[in-house]
Structure 1
Amino acid sequence: MLNRKKVKIISAVFIIFSVIIFAFPSSVFAENSTGVEGFVTRLYNTCLDRNPDPDGFANWVNNLVTGRITGGRAAYGFIFSDELINKNLNNDEFLIVMYKAFFDRSPDPGGYENWMGLLNSGSSREFVFSNFVNSDEFANICSKYGIQAGKVRISGSRTSVPTSSPGKNIVVMGDSLINKSDWTQRLGGLINSSFPDSGYNVIGSAVNGEMSFQGLARFDSTIAPLNPGIIIIAYGTNDIGSDPGRFQSSIEQLIEKSKRTGAMVFLNLVGPIYHSGKSSWPVFNQIIMNVAARYGVPVIDVANPLNQNPGENLSEGMHYSSAGADVVSRVAYSAIYRYLR
């Protein structure tokens, strides 16, 4: 049994510790720079611009440690919390938080301008958030803290796609090389910088793991209704290892369907791949170039510039790093520039 004196001492210590937590939170959480605790502290700092409160901090850490939520779900809870919503951030302030929290950097001009254009034209913040939190850059941040990023699916979050000016939508269709980087957003930024009053809108229409025949199957329902002025067909990565004849036929049919919409069509080469089972990527690029020549379709050659420094431009030997996304966006911009007006 504790005597009264010891109880008083313990109570006093508890009170002093509580005062320290609330009065000097930075001193309590300053050492939480690694692991799950560091990840949660970082979300408080970058999203809410404050240090953690003890109860909230313990709850987030517990949910992550026990696997009840992923890093992405935790991020959603912070970004769409009442506390942040009540700050009434404008689109500029919202994007600053997105880049800081999920890319750990300041906005690049091209990507920023395109995200701003999407927000201003009706895309929801949940749609923008999902692209940031499902990126390789956020996955890398989570990995540093031993956190699984997971995937956040947003259903119906894109409130609108501008269709008032037919021909102004530039649609890039493909796979995870679009979804796992921001090169299409950077492309949009470059275009809007050169043609600020044009109304161009770059739309990435991609499905992770998708092959060309699957893109062909969804073209009429997901691409044609966008009234595109330009369509960039970017398939091949997932087709490698499958029947080359089916790939060629699918690309040919995609070109034909695209042309029937009245859009200008471009074929995007497969980037260099240093990944098991994907060594035949040059063969599939040759198929793309042969088809492009027969149909008179311009080719966007991302393979050669990316291959000049694959260690810097690629992640996982296949997907585009931030540097790679910049390379691809600039190559694509150079290819389509003369067709814009």
Structure 2
Amino acid sequence: MHSLTHADIKTAADRIAGHVRPVTITRADVDPAPQAGPGTGPYTLHLALELMQHTGSFKARGAQNFLLAHREEGTLPAAGVTIASGGNAGLACAWAALRQGVPATVFLPTTAPRVKADKLLGLGADVRLVGTEYAEALTACETFAAETGALASHAYDHPLIAAGAGTLLDEIHARIPDLDTVVVSVGGGGLFAGVATAARHHGIRTVAVEPENCRALDAALRAGQPVDVTVDSVAADSLGARRVSATALETARQDGVRTVLVPDTEIIRVRRELWDDRRLAVEHAAATALAALTTPDRPGATDLGYRPEPGEKICVVLCGANTDPTDLVHTTA
């Protein structure tokens, strides 16, 4: 296992400079929330709008780093690149492959949102629908790579992918040098591992947020090793990894990391609130991170949500927007 370092992230930042969009950050209003509990005072909240990145998610960073690194090493085959994805990593891979002039074959579960499959076709990818979960698509992808010689990328479990994702935190820190805490959603753990590694370098706390029913990182921490979990959440199209990466688990055990869970009901509510209040159409994975700050207390639950300290400076990463927005729009007569 490769232990991710901040040097890896700096190398990635230099490599992808000019190939990705710098993150947009906006200050957010903080409403006193009665469910936040006694003693919770005002805090400062920023939103990192990585949903505005190429292909609609942070995944473009890792995909560019992965393919550019292989181009530099002369290991990018004519057969192109292949990846299994819930959608976002596939989009990023296909977009980066198009930029490099090589074909991309993307394996998706049949449950992937139609909007993601359509966008992949628009990027010229060969789209193959296999199984109902990411794990099944991954098996088909690995077989395809072995048979064709295509370069196998990964949605999250690769040091180049995680390092690319970590460049996001360095950009956030440059804009908010006195930041205390960054909040990110977790699926397989690529974004979390990259962001938390960079955050630790800068002395910033990382809060890793999972849906209650997509809790691969939480289960790994409890078991002491990555284990398979049941995937059953409204955010499963992006956060539906059955098993977290070993790198993410190693990162979660380090100082300055907090892991929390949020219920689907709060993810859905926050996603709609982002649309109603800010006209941000985000996918459920992005709402998952922000939901950590608003999830009500529940008797006996000690790992539910995150309670900011008075004066704490927080940045929540809104990681993607590849969603069907029709359920956000109210029709009026």
TM-score after normalising by structure 1: 0.25
Considering fraction of residues, name the structure with more strand.
2
Quick check: which has more Rg, 1 or 2?
Answer: 1
Larger RCO (CA within 8 A; separation ≥ 6) = 2
TM-score after normalising by structure 2: 0.25
Considering fraction of residues, name the structure with more helix.
1
